Amino acid sequence: MTAKSVGNAANNTASGTPDGTVEYAAPALTLGDKLSRAVDHFRNEWQLYVMLAPAVIWCIVFLYKPMYGLQIAFKDYSIFRGVAASPWIGLEHFETLFGNDQFIRAVFNTIKISALNLLFGFPAPIILALMFNEVLHAGYKRFAQTIVYLPHFISTVIIAGIVITAFSPTAGIVNTILGWFGADSIYFLTKPEWFRPIFVGTGIWQEAGFGSIVFLAAIAGVNPSLYESAVVDGASRWQMMWKITIPSILPTIIIMLIIRIGNIMEVSFELIILLYQPATYSTADVVNTFVYRQGLQSGQYDMAAAAGLFNAAVAFVLVVAANSLSRRYSRTSLW
Amino acid sequence: MAMTMNLYSRGDKIFAIATSVLIGMFTAATLYPFIYITAVSFSSGFAASAGKVILTPIDATLAAYKHVLTDPKFWVSYRNTFIYTVGGTLMSLAFIIPGAYALSRPQLYGRRFWNLFIAFTMWFNAGLIPFFLNMRDLGLLDSYFGIMIGFAVNAFNLILLRNFFEAIPSSFQEAARMDGANDFQVLWKVYVPLAKPAIATITLFCIVSRWNGFFWAMVLLQSEEKIPLQVYLRHTIANLSDDQEFTATLLNQPYSVETVTAAIIVCAIIPVLIVYPFIQKYFEKGILLGGVKE
């Protein structure tokens, strides 16, 4: 071990010239030199590769291998033949899908639900963060934050259970309140026109608080001298919010918007599975719930995989497009 | 702070009060469903089914809890959730901590490639069906081990910890190596203690996601004796009103579908509330650490 350390030290002095400049990559390095360097390196650092191996192997087995399995979207997949031996059939599944009204409906439902999420769900945490920034009493702010972050950590099943109970036609609080105003009881979860408002509202209730953390962090990072000089100029808090805070956190807002757009096709289908029923499929069924029903419940794996691939491809195009637009117009981008 | 307070004009004060009130309303709206469901769980079945419960229990009774807590299936699922949570979290840490350390070392060959290799899984995954078929091909359906190993590595957590390790000055590692420690010792004796806040953060993230996980447990597990609490709760919500054995008992029991569901919900939330103060201590930091870029 000590010999190796000395070896390292010797290497270091060899690559540094006396005047302190460092020469990287000596010009004429033979293949043999490279090889012996590599051997040295692995002799010294093999433990790093042992540490890295489990995570890399895990990713290959559980994430990259399914990507190889994605080819069944173009195959007539049979369980008995397996992925590799099933015959290719080209784009047949995609043709079937685009002739399937349910699938087309699911695509449009996905986009509509996401659009509502974007319209109402995206601004909510920003507004919340801006409001938190104006609350003067630190203890009150702390308390409110503790409460509003909590729903993020509650499971989808519990959220669904609460929604189902609260919106139940006879037992639910929502219909009780409607009853005070003399309105008839509504069986909300069987009404297609109510599904999206309930779903989007639930999402805001669950995630707006937690989502505000990112924006609060961005606000905390704004240069305080901007506010100080604004105070000297007699600006009001309202003006400071519009003229300093919001412009300062705009890059964060744009990054979050790009991420959001990249996730347009990924509405939280777990909650939908728990809340929808055949009566509300017309507004509630999204691509991922369609994939779940066709694939995991009806066993049409190949067609469902094709639907999933279509979804992922659209999502990929969306995030790349959003990113390049943002880079062009605001110099803010994910990559 | 006190100085700036004095500089607040009247308009500013109104603005501050208005935001405080709005925040208070949103907080109350966030809290209310929990209060409501707790009130339902302690109410009589009759009051709950008639929609009489608003804020506090009506005809308070523990009947729903008695029904839930004497159901052996509830305890089996609770035990299973503990197994998945503890086993799954330990497995995640065993993969993530060494992996994050290796990726944080500048001398690692192909470091950029390995980082991309892991980060790519955040941006693209094969989707439900290929993942499911892969689990089936691996023989991991309906298996405790499958649930634990199948979701062990989360690229976000790994990169979060890597960022933290990278922020620790390399001199720590170099000095320890000079003293004859190998990388495993460096990691265990130097880096893990220094990275405690980050490790606590990802541990809590793992615990919560394990505790709450339901979709894959529902899809991958068939045997009733292996399902976790969340799947048990889903079965209850979906099937209780059609369960004739259950509805037959309603005639002479002071609980109802609503109160039993609410009682299970409360039982499933309590452990989350217990760890929540610890989570809260760390997650704000964690989110900031995870300024994840590649």
Res A27: pLDDT: 59
Structure tokens at A151: 């729903």
- The DSSP annotation for A38-78 comes to HHHHHHHHHHHHHHHHHHHHHHIIIIIHHHHHGGGGGB---
Read off the amino acid at residue B205. F
Nearest to B263 by CA among B85, B28, B80, B60: B60
Do residue A66 and residue B24 have CB atoms under 8 angstroms apart? no
Res B1: pLDDT: 44
Separation of alpha carbons A246 and B177, rounded Å: 48
Separation of alpha carbons A165 and B55, rounded Å: 14
Read off the amino acid at residue B255. Y
Q: Which long-range contacts (CB under 8 A, 24 or more apart) does A250-257 make?
A: A250/A330, A250/A332, A251/A218, A251/A330, A251/A332, A252/A214, A252/A215, A252/A218, A253/A126, A253/A215, A254/A326, A254/A330, A254/A332, A255/A332, A255/A334, A256/A122, A256/A214, A256/A215, A257/A122, A257/A322, A257/A326
ipTM tops 0.85: yes
pLDDT digits (tens, 9 = 90+) for B151-186: 999 998 999 899 889 988 888 888 888 888 899 999
For chain A, domains (ranges, CATH) are 94-330 (1.10.3720.10)
pLDDT digits (tens, 9 = 90+) for B191-230: 999 988 889 889 988 998 999 999 999 999 999 999 999 9
Searching chain A, which residue's CA lies closest to the CA of residue B228?
A157
- The DSSP annotation for A273-329 comes to HHH--GGGHHHH--HHHHHIIIIIIT--HHHHHHHHHHHHHHHHHHHHHHHHHHHHH
Do residue B128 and residue A295 have CB atoms under 8 angstroms apart? yes
Separation of alpha carbons B98 and B94, rounded Å: 7
pLDDT digits (tens, 9 = 90+) for B136-156: 999 999 999 999 999 999 998
**What is the percent of chain A where pLDDT is above 70?**
90
Res A326: pLDDT: 78
Of A158, A160, A209, the CB nearest to B269: A158
Res A94: pLDDT: 96
Round to the nearest angstrom and report the end-to-end CA distance of chain A: 41
Res B285: pLDDT: 63
Res A16: pLDDT: 41
Nearest to A207 by CA among A157, A156, A250, A243: A156
Are A316 and A265 within 8 A, CB to CB? no
Separation of alpha carbons B224 and B213, rounded Å: 16
Whether B39 has a pLDDT exceeding 50, the answer reads yes
Strand partners, A22: A16
* List of chain A residues whose C-beta atoms are within 8 Å of the C-beta of residue B5: 136
Measure in Å the smallest separation between the Cα of A178 and chain B Cα atoms.
11
Burial class (CB in 10 A: 0-12, 13-18, 19+), B231: buried
Q: Rounded to the nearest 5 degrees, what angle is found at the Cα of B192, between the Cα atoms of B190 and B197? A: 125
Res A204: pLDDT: 96
Res A2: pLDDT: 37
Phi, then psi, of A183 in degrees rounded to 5 = -80, 155
Separation of alpha carbons A155 and A158, rounded Å: 5
* List of chain A residues whose C-beta atoms are within 8 Å of the C-beta of residue B278: none
Res A8: pLDDT: 41
For chain B, domains (ranges, CATH) are 2-70+232-270 (1.10.3720.10), 73-220 (1.10.3720.10)
Nearest to A208 by CA among A139, A138, A271, A150: A150
Res A75: pLDDT: 95
Cβ-Cβ contacts under 8 Å for B264 (sequence gap 6 or more): A161, B68, B74, B232, B233, B236
Per-residue pLDDT of chain A (335 residues; tens, 9 = 90+): 333 333 344 444 344 444 444 545 555 678 888 888 888 888 888 999 999 999 999 999 999 999 999 999 999 999 888 888 999 999 999 999 999 999 999 999 999 999 999 999 999 999 999 999 999 888 999 999 999 999 999 999 999 999 999 999 988 999 999 999 998 999 999 999 999 999 999 999 999 999 998 899 899 989 999 999 998 998 999 999 999 999 999 989 988 888 888 788 888 899 999 999 999 999 999 999 999 999 999 999 999 999 999 998 898 888 888 888 878 777 767 66
Structure tokens at A97: 């899908």
Q: Which long-range contacts (CB under 8 A, 24 or more apart) does A217-225 make?
A: A217/B284, A217/B287, A217/B288, A218/A129, A218/A248, A218/A249, A218/A251, A218/A252, A219/A129, A219/A130, A219/A133, A219/A245, A219/A248, A219/A249, A221/A248, A222/A248, A222/A249, A223/A248
Of B11, B51, B213, the CB nearest to A172: B51
pLDDT digits (tens, 9 = 90+) for B248-294: 888 778 899 999 999 999 999 999 999 888 888 777 665 555 444 33
pLDDT digits (tens, 9 = 90+) for A108-160: 999 999 999 999 999 999 999 999 999 988 899 999 999 999 999 999 999 99
Searching chain B, which residue's CA lies closest to the CA of residue A311?
B127
DSSP category for residue A16: B
Across the range B230-245, mean pLDDT stands at: 87
Res B7: pLDDT: 58
For the beta carbon of residue A159, count every other beta carbon within 10 angstroms. Answer: 23
Do residue B129 and residue A295 have CB atoms under 8 angstroms apart? yes
Measure in Å the smallest separation between the Cα of B132 and chain A Cα atoms.
8
